[in-house]
Amino acid sequence: MEGIRDSLLLIPLYLPLAIPYAITGQMVGLKDWEIVLWSALIYAGSAQLACLSALAAGAGLMELLIITLMANARHGFISLGIAPYLQGVTCRALPLVGFTLATSSVGLLPAKVARGGNLQVYALSVQISQWAQWVLFTLLGVWLGPMVPTAWTPVLGFAVPAAFLGLVAPLVRENLGSGLTVALVAAALGLGLTVFWPPQVCAIAGALGGAAAGILLPERGSRG
């Protein structure tokens, strides 16, 4: 019950992402069952949104694979971060814990260890509940899709980049100097290289350039 309760606190995160994802999927030509299957089997909101944006721009299979790999690479670092806290999780439960791993797990699981109690039951309940939210909100978006007025299409088209801006903004504010530098490097590469390369390739180059800039910059004290 504790895990389910904590997962419900994340509804404001999943709801505004899953519904535009489903409607955008319909806009780019995916079938309803394909949209829901992506959410059920991939369960990676940012990767799904990025792939839809690339599909709309005419990306091919290889570009989609690269985008998915880059968008999901964070899960490797998340796994490394929470691994020391998973000693009480059995080997049989680890694959399910790994599949339902989410960015929020970085904060939720260590906090549960500090409070005490059965981490395995908590991890499975909080993460499976989040997965169920993502799939159910995707279904809601598929149902709402045909009701969306045509005039709203440009607004929904901006939902994907807006979602990423919302995820990046807090990180930039946390360390304003280095955050702005990373954002400017990524933007300059992503926009400037469109003179030579397709936009979806430039987005990848911009992301890699911004990440490299973040690694090279010295850490400074965060604001607040």
- DSSP per residue, the chain: -HHHHHHHTTHHHHHHHHHHHHHHHHHTT--HHHHHHHHHHT--HHHHHHHHHHHHTT--HHHHHHHHHHHHTHHHHHHHHHGGG-TTS-TTTHHHHHHT--TTHHHHHHHHHHH-S-HHHHHHHHHHHHHHHHHHHHHHHHHHGGGS-GGGHHHHHTHHHHHHHHHHHHHHHHTHHHHHHHHHHHHHHHHHGGGTS-HHHHHHHHHHHHHHHHHHSPP-PPP-
**Is a pLDDT exceeding 70 seen at residue 55?**
yes
**Is a pLDDT exceeding 80 seen at residue 70?**
no
Between residues 62 and 71, which one has the greater pLDDT? 62
Residue at token pair 């901006």: 158
> CA–CA separation, 203 vs 189, rounded Å?
8
**Is a pLDDT exceeding 70 seen at residue 158?**
no
Between residues 150 and 170, which one has the greater pLDDT? 150
**Is a pLDDT exceeding 90 seen at residue 74?**
no
CB atoms within 10 A of CB 167: 14
What is residue 39's predicted lDDT score, i.e. its pLDDT? 93
What does the H/E/C string look like for 27-65?
HCCCCHHHHHHHHHHCCCHHHHHHHHHHHHCCCCHHHHH
Q: What is the pLDDT of residues 120-142, one digit of tens each?
A: 999 999 999 999 999 999 999 99
Q: In terms of pTM, does the model score above 0.75? A: no
Q: What is the pLDDT of residues 169-198, one digit of tens each?
A: 666 766 778 888 888 998 898 899 888 877
Dihedral sign computed on CA atoms, order 69, 190, 17, 52: negative
Between residues 169 and 103, which one has the greater pLDDT? 103
Total residues belonging to the chain: 224
Residues 106-134, buried b or exposed e (16+ Cβ, 10 A)? bebbeebbeeeeebbbbbbbbbbbbbebb
Sequence spans of domains, the chain: 2-149
Amino acid at 37: L
Mean pLDDT of 199-210: 76
Q: Token digits for 131?
A: 């997965």
**Is a pLDDT exceeding 80 seen at residue 56?**
no
Nearest to 69 by CA among 61, 57, 80: 61
Among the ranges 32-41, 96-105, 169-178, 182-191, which has the highest mean pLDDT value? 32-41
Between residues 4 and 13, which one has the greater pLDDT? 4
**Is a pLDDT exceeding 80 seen at residue 6?**
yes
